[in-house]
Structure 1
């Protein structure tokens, strides 16, 4: 099942610690921060949830060119990202927690930007999807006319779950189900929701206004109310659960709903399962319970032999990640790809083409920088733990010796299409792609240098 998530991405930062005293100059708690976690939020959170569940996912979005975006791309490692450029800052939402209890949230860069452009790759990914989730966070991706045109056309062919936002775009006609929460539904319908009858009326109004096949109004601990055409409203209760932080509940519900619809379940059955799974997610701690991206630190020297490092990390239960390439004229695109790769495991080993190998592949004028300097520059990056130079045209022999658990490449293609995929999978490894930055390449940098030399 090819699941595509389309929408706006945010960077969520969690600062967690204990509050045991009040600030001396104001009656507010002092939180001694013991843990800092950075997560993909918005559409990125939906995509990460699905990847965690074992589903192959494509995320269609736009990315900025700032420090927060770099952190966000690392948090999206393992997700196939097809992105266009954003002309706005990456939104950052920082939550401070004392124990499991939220204390305050600080938002940065959340001003509403212009509607971003859609690239051909973004539209192609939507046309290739078998299930689509629209995670609209009000920053314009779901308002793009070309994206909306594709979504409206695909609504007649595949399940589409639309998770709306108060300041977002109106859902396109024909989508399978729209999932507003109670306050979003009341605002969209411009009506009260004080009684079950009033909520049912709101659901009917939104069904008519949005021209969707169904509307599922989520009501927190009260479950949800499903309105469909030619059927009476259906109340779906939620299992009893203790909730300390409702953050991410709507994302969890949309993700589960899409999976069950894609598997062929009826809308009624999919909605019941999704509400139950969203409740279980909150009962387990919500977003705070998502896997910790922190990794143990492996103390070693950059000069340590790559094969020895791999053996030692694996012997201690760690995950060995490898990537490869020429890395001639190291640039920001390389740095971002390497940082995202390192976040997938406990060490990152770069398989580096030798000078002779680069020359055979790219011509007599390359490499521009010799292999010793290229290796030294790579090792200067905090995310690179070791470099293994190979002289062949392809890294197969190098990989056979290294046997990484994860092989990472940057690019806009499926991990299964990588030429090394069969070899990596032969020992139980997996191939992963991370975002590729078209505007940043060695060739572009070399051409620019030629003009000023």
Structure 2
């Protein structure tokens, strides 16, 4: 597996962002590493046709759409491949297309995107799988699909024969099985055999409608969406029934069903849940939008997740990166791609996220009027580590909107000494604001956050478990207006002071979980 060069991983594996500035460094560095990734699976062409409706047809009360625009984009495994290429990976695609216009268009776009198509089998008389969506006025009206039906045995056999060679010297393989028929018979059996004794440096990711069929592969990651996870569990997952909690409750069943070392369940508007075989559960929060015509965000998520892990980023960091990439494409109509520049600009947008107290109070007022509960926490958050990320994820789950108040640089110096903070408040705000669980960041320069608490009046005030309510002067301020003080888990032996000490004294990394 390709790794970050010496000195670029942080001491505890979790505070990469805090060391260099995630928003300006990480996407470019991943692209420079350029892991080699093979995508194997069901390649498709997505069509997006739009037009106007001014009449109904005479034969039935059905609208007539006068098509004004046609566009096409790689879909399915092909979409995963172009997203990986756009993020800087060196990508090969293994699949089949027909010798038809759709197949030619798909290959053209793949090659234009920098994807190696030498192992895409061109099959005469085969219909390239195409999914065409018809819309008008921003409203999706209809989708019609064309598919190959049964893929010739000779085409599957030819692809299977090439797999052992294709997988040589790769950092990752992504299996995209959408039930279109390519990943069956000889292709599947050859893949399982070739990857059964794979080296630890070769990451195996399964993105399948039915991950159970790949459990024998023992993949490193399986990435079911909410519907697929529900089918694995034999449950109905309703968005109104607390899907994240249900997924976490059934962690072991999902791990057993997929055979994976870790499962990442994507929950569209509710973000994603990382369920590792060992270590803490990790959640991301999506930035939902009203766009109803976006497609393929799951492919983008898998691509960014794979890229991060193939470059040896911690699993939690890779999941956060994947969520950021998905948040980008879900804001765009059609099937789109997240590039290195897109990701860098998106993360850089958090650099100026710190709001003054007045503007923050106005925004909180709107959230409260909508019935949302406000959670406030505060701290230095100087060199971000896994204790911070675990704590902030727990704080988010106490309410709807999480506000993080950062000590100013002068305040940190007063608390920690003249050699702190390591990172300026601008950098600290950018890193904390980039976490999917954080909604707002502000800065306070008073000895305690009591003035801010009295101005914002959060329903819940959260602090880490190394504090007690009796120790917090701010607890009395919260209780005066009827708020609640929540004391969260404390991660023993993990602190910014300890991290800085290891850096300065050359202690090196300490063993951590893979998450």
TM-score, structure 1 as length reference: 0.58
CA deviation vs aligned residue, 1:35-84 (integer Å, no higher than 9, x gap): 22232221111112223334321111123334432332223223211134
2:104 pairs with one of 70, 82, 87: 70
Distance, in Å, in 1 between the alignment partners of 2:218 and 2:275 is 14
Contact kept, 8 Å, 1:140 with 1:168, in 2: the verdict is no
The farther-off stretch of 243-252 and 155-164 is 155-164
The alignment status of 1:145 with 2:181, answered yes or no, reads no
CA deviation vs aligned residue, 1:217-258 (integer Å, no higher than 9, x gap): 111110111111122433221123333224101101011111
| Counterpart mapping for 1:360-439 below 5 A | none
Compared CA separation, residues 58 and 52, structure 1 to 2 (3 A): same
2:70 pairs with one of 26, 36, 39: 36
Distance, in Å, in 2 between the alignment partners of 1:103 and 1:123 is 43
Compared CA separation, residues 267 and 290, structure 1 to 2 (3 A): closer
Question: What SS does the corresponding residue of 2:265 show, helix, strand or coil?
Answer: strand
Question: What SS does the corresponding residue of 1:170 show, helix, strand or coil?
Answer: helix
TM-score, structure 2 as length reference: 0.52
| Counterpart mapping for 1:48-447 below 5 A | 48-78=82-112, 79-81=115-117, 82-84=119-121, 88-109=126-147, 111=149, 113=151, 116-117=156-157, 118-143=159-184, 144-154=188-198, 156-166=200-210, 169-193=213-237, 194-195=241-242, 196-287=244-335
Q: Please list every run of 5 or more consecutive structure 2 residues that lacks an aligned counterpart in the other structure.
A: 1-34, 340-515
1:261 is displaced (CA, Å) by: 1.1
Question: What SS does the corresponding residue of 2:70 show, helix, strand or coil?
Answer: strand
Distance, in Å, in 1 between the alignment partners of 2:336 and 2:171 is 30
Contact kept, 8 Å, 2:46 with 2:72, in 1: the verdict is yes
Higher relative contact order, structure no. (Cα contacts within 8 Å, ≥ 6 residues apart): 2
1:22 pairs with one of 47, 56, 61: 56
Contact kept, 8 Å, 1:13 with 1:37, in 2: the verdict is yes
1:86 is displaced (CA, Å) by: 5.2
CA deviation vs aligned residue, 1:159-183 (integer Å, no higher than 9, x gap): 2221111499434433221111100
Distance, in Å, in 2 between the alignment partners of 1:5 and 1:12 is 18
Question: What SS does the corresponding residue of 2:168 show, helix, strand or coil?
Answer: helix
Contact kept, 8 Å, 2:233 with 2:254, in 1: the verdict is yes
In the other structure, the counterpart of 2:47 is 13
Compared CA separation, residues 289 and 129, structure 1 to 2 (3 A): closer
Distance, in Å, in 2 between the alignment partners of 1:24 and 1:167 is 46
Question: What SS does the corresponding residue of 1:105 show, helix, strand or coil?
Answer: strand
1:286 is displaced (CA, Å) by: 4.6
Contact kept, 8 Å, 2:265 with 2:272, in 1: the verdict is yes
CA RMSD of aligned residues (A): 2.7
Compared CA separation, residues 84 and 288, structure 1 to 2 (3 A): closer
Distance, in Å, in 1 between the alignment partners of 2:302 and 2:92 is 15
Distance, in Å, in 2 between the alignment partners of 1:207 and 1:114 is 34
Distance, in Å, in 2 between the alignment partners of 1:65 and 1:224 is 38
Compared CA separation, residues 250 and 155, structure 1 to 2 (3 A): farther
Distance, in Å, in 1 between the alignment partners of 2:258 and 2:120 is 27
Contact kept, 8 Å, 1:138 with 1:167, in 2: the verdict is no
1:114 is displaced (CA, Å) by: 6.8
CA deviation vs aligned residue, 1:401-445 (integer Å, no higher than 9, x gap): xxxxxxxxxxxxxxxxxxxxxxxxxxxxxxxxxxxxxxxxxxxxx
Compared CA separation, residues 290 and 272, structure 1 to 2 (3 A): closer
Pairs aligned (count): 291
CA deviation vs aligned residue, 1:317-371 (integer Å, no higher than 9, x gap): xxxxxxxxxxxxxxxxxxxxxxxxxxxxxxxxxxxxxxxxxxxxxxxxxxxxxxx
Contact kept, 8 Å, 1:155 with 1:174, in 2: the verdict is no
Compared CA separation, residues 68 and 263, structure 1 to 2 (3 A): same
The answer to which structure has the higher helix fraction is 2
Distance, in Å, in 1 between the alignment partners of 2:201 and 2:318 is 18
Contact kept, 8 Å, 2:75 with 2:335, in 1: the verdict is no
Contact kept, 8 Å, 1:214 with 1:229, in 2: the verdict is yes
1:278 is displaced (CA, Å) by: 0.3
